[in-house]
Structure 1
Amino acid sequence: MLNILKTRGLAAFALGAALVAGPVSAAELRYAHVGAEGDIQTIYAAAAAEGIKTATNGEVTVTVYPASQLGGVAEMVDGVRMGSISMGHHDFASLARLVPEVAVFNAPFIYRDGAHALAATDPATSPALQAVNDKLVAQGIRIIGRIYRGDRHISSNFPVRTPADLAGKPFRAVPLELWVSMVKGFGAIPTPVEVAELPTALMTGVVVGQENPLTMIASNNLNEVQSHLSMTGHMRAVLAVFINEEIWQGLTEAQRSSITKVLDDEAKKSLQMATESEVKLVADLKGRGMTVLTEADGLDVAAFREKVSAQIKQDFPAFEAPLAQIAAVK
């Protein structure tokens, strides 16, 4: 803890020295994420970096480090909190170590559609997110945007139509409590695996299945190690874009305004991209040899909704109030 305080103190001193004459007029931001090439989140980050440079007339430049170049999820979040990484993005639940209730924005079966998901996670207008953001700021991180990646679905090495098909089987869980709870609701044994290790874990049988948006499944060629795709749509995959609070306060008001507008514009583009790409991705994955299961093929989405929602309610009773706020968003 002492080392952490010293590091934060040094970061604050360095930033303070740079701000003696007021907010910085130029800034270079390091933007990290774990997304692979071709994924919507990777396209988003690259477009946001270019848009921020243009919108700020070159005063703020952003260098993006994709594919876990600066570490896994935990390392990235810690880096942003400490200021060694300026900003990043990942599932809202990746910030739950700092503020547990932020995970609610990734809870399964809570959004009506993609537009509702973006509205409920808008830092400027969503009461639920604003309440959580106030707590995150006290921890050194601020959410300033979001990305829509599309619905998350289950892939496996055998047909999965009901939670009973996964009973007792090792299934990859994102190494976060919310995902562990959800996978329990699937009926499976939650087995944490970092995204960079996922193809190998699937190939070697450490886990027999996983869940992700179609963009991730396709861009990571998971069809090479998974035979079936069950279109559960259990999550509307929304990622939080977050920044170190001291760095954010070191920017001018005009720069912050320009950045948030760029991120909001790119969020809307990500929703459009995800919506348009899903049909194409299903056809693409079928062409690569995957068997796609829908409700017409006996997939029981209602059973997954019932089991998963009950597990989340049991494991996260504090979600009740923010879930009501999210449901009320138009």
Structure 2
Amino acid sequence: MFINSTRQFVTAAAIGLFAAQAHAADLRYAHVGSEGDFQTRFAAEAAAEIGTATDGEVTVQVFPSSQLGNVAEMVDGVKLGSIHMGHHDFASLARIVPEIAVFNAPFIYRDGAHALAATNPASSPALQALNERLIEEGGVRVIGRIYRGARHISSNFEIKSPTDMAGKPFRAVPLDLWISMIKGMGATPTPVEVAELPTALMTGLVVGQENPLTMITANNLHEVQSHVAMTGHMQSVLAIFVNEKAWQKLPEDQQATIVKVLDDKAQQSLQWAQESEATLIAELEGKGMTFATEENGLDMDAFRNSVLPQIKTDFPEYEDYIAQILAVK
């Protein structure tokens, strides 16, 4: 009698454990952001909130600072499923669907709020169409986004127009869109991975780069750069993407919970960026950096008139998607 009861208890416990495992998920989330950047804060907080919101049924382990590889290796890892989630510029997914890089195109968003609205997977017609192709052609799905702020140019000399950059080696994110944009700015595009950027600036491989102020601050670029041109040429929005097979293993309620957490965090990231810009400018000025703005001679029309024709020439396939982005309210 005791043996039978014990067997029944063990069997019931095993069934309960199996059921718990069937509904639990442990997701590996990789990105290349360094400590102190908004994207690193976003991933850490989102992971914790997903665990809480799903009552521990979904746990997310975050691997920041290129721990699981550079951008290309991370994207390939998500495609293969060895990494379940990742985030980076939309253009990093262009290795699967080239046109998705349009969401990082320069001078296409009115402001940060417009950028978030135009990259909402639940309501953006352009992203929904491209997401279907991502799923079909690469087994990857965009499920959220992060707003990091406007991207500006830093350098070790003053920049007020593309003429000041002519022929000089500037870091380009190792993606076709960035190479085109830096060329449009008049500089010589030099692809450099983000983890190698401080060294590239220090050694003179490149004399400038472009990124949000959060990244400039987090990576102490003031130590190797003296000037910032507040071009705001891109509204920096990162795609959060997931392996489709891993995603489909989650029950619909867990999927909905994760999407809601990511959407709420996206709105918070916009708030973080808006609140921090003035503080970051003051901080970097205190560390010796000089800022060029339209008020003191930065020629934004010259940048637009130089960059946009280059993008149009190199990426004519973006035209319809840009029209859809511009139409988003």
- Structure-1-length-normalised TM-score: 0.93
Find the aligned partners of 1:219 and 1:168 in 2 and give their Cα distance.
28
Conserved? CA contact 1:24–1:251, under 8 Å: no
Q: Deviations over 1:115-146 (max 9, x none)?
A: 10000000001000000000000111000000
1:81 aligned partner? 79
Secondary structure of the residue aligned to 2:206 is: coil
1:62 aligned partner? 60
2:183 aligned partner? 184
Find the aligned partners of 1:124 and 1:319 in 2 and give their Cα distance.
21
Give matches, 1:198-213, under 5 Å.
198-213=197-212
Q: Deviations over 1:268-325 (max 9, x none)?
A: 0000000100110000000111011111221111110111111000000000000000
2:115 aligned partner? 117
Q: Deviations over 1:14-34 (max 9, x none)?
A: xxxxxx99x940000000000
Find the aligned partners of 1:151 and 1:303 in 2 and give their Cα distance.
18
Segment drifting more, 260-269 vs 293-302: 293-302
Sequence identity (%): 70
- Structure 1 runs of 4+ aligned residues shifted over 2 Å read none
Look up the equivalent residue of 2:227 and give its one-letter code: H
Determine if the alignment matches structure 1 residue 26 to structure 2 residue 24: yes
Offset of residue 216 of structure 1: 0.2
**Superposition CA RMSD, Å:** 1.3
Offset of residue 264 of structure 1: 0.1
Secondary structure of the residue aligned to 2:95 is: coil
Secondary structure of the residue aligned to 1:172 is: strand
Secondary structure of the residue aligned to 1:251 is: coil
Determine if the alignment matches structure 1 residue 91 to structure 2 residue 89: yes
Question: How many residue pairs are counted as aligned between the two chains?
Answer: 311
Find the aligned partners of 1:47 and 1:301 in 2 and give their Cα distance.
36
Conserved? CA contact 1:24–1:250, under 8 Å: no
Secondary structure of the residue aligned to 1:96 is: helix
Conserved? CA contact 1:24–1:252, under 8 Å: no
Q: Deviations over 1:199-252 (max 9, x none)?
A: 000011000000000000000000000010100000000000000000000000
Conserved? CA contact 1:146–1:264, under 8 Å: yes
Any stretches of 5+ residues in structure 2 without a counterpart? Answer: 1-17
- Structure-2-length-normalised TM-score: 0.93
Offset of residue 169 of structure 1: 0.5
1:16 aligned partner? none
Find the aligned partners of 1:315 and 1:176 in 2 and give their Cα distance.
13
Find the aligned partners of 1:32 and 1:67 in 2 and give their Cα distance.
8
Q: Which of 100, 103, 109 is matched with 2:101 structurally?
A: 103
1:289 aligned partner? 288
Look up the equivalent residue of 1:112 and give its one-letter code: R
Segment drifting more, 143-152 vs 297-306: 297-306
Find the aligned partners of 1:112 and 1:298 in 2 and give their Cα distance.
22
Give matches, 1:8-47, under 5 Å.
24-47=22-45
1:5 aligned partner? none
Look up the equivalent residue of 1:35 and give its one-letter code: G
Find the aligned partners of 2:118 and 2:92 in 1 and give their Cα distance.
18
1:53 aligned partner? 51
Find the aligned partners of 1:175 and 1:166 in 2 and give their Cα distance.
19
Find the aligned partners of 1:44 and 1:237 in 2 and give their Cα distance.
14
1:279 aligned partner? 278
1:312 aligned partner? 311
1:127 aligned partner? 125
1:150 aligned partner? 149
1:140 aligned partner? 139
2:15 aligned partner? none
Q: Deviations over 1:16-53 (max 9, x none)?
A: xxxx99x9400000000000111010010011001100
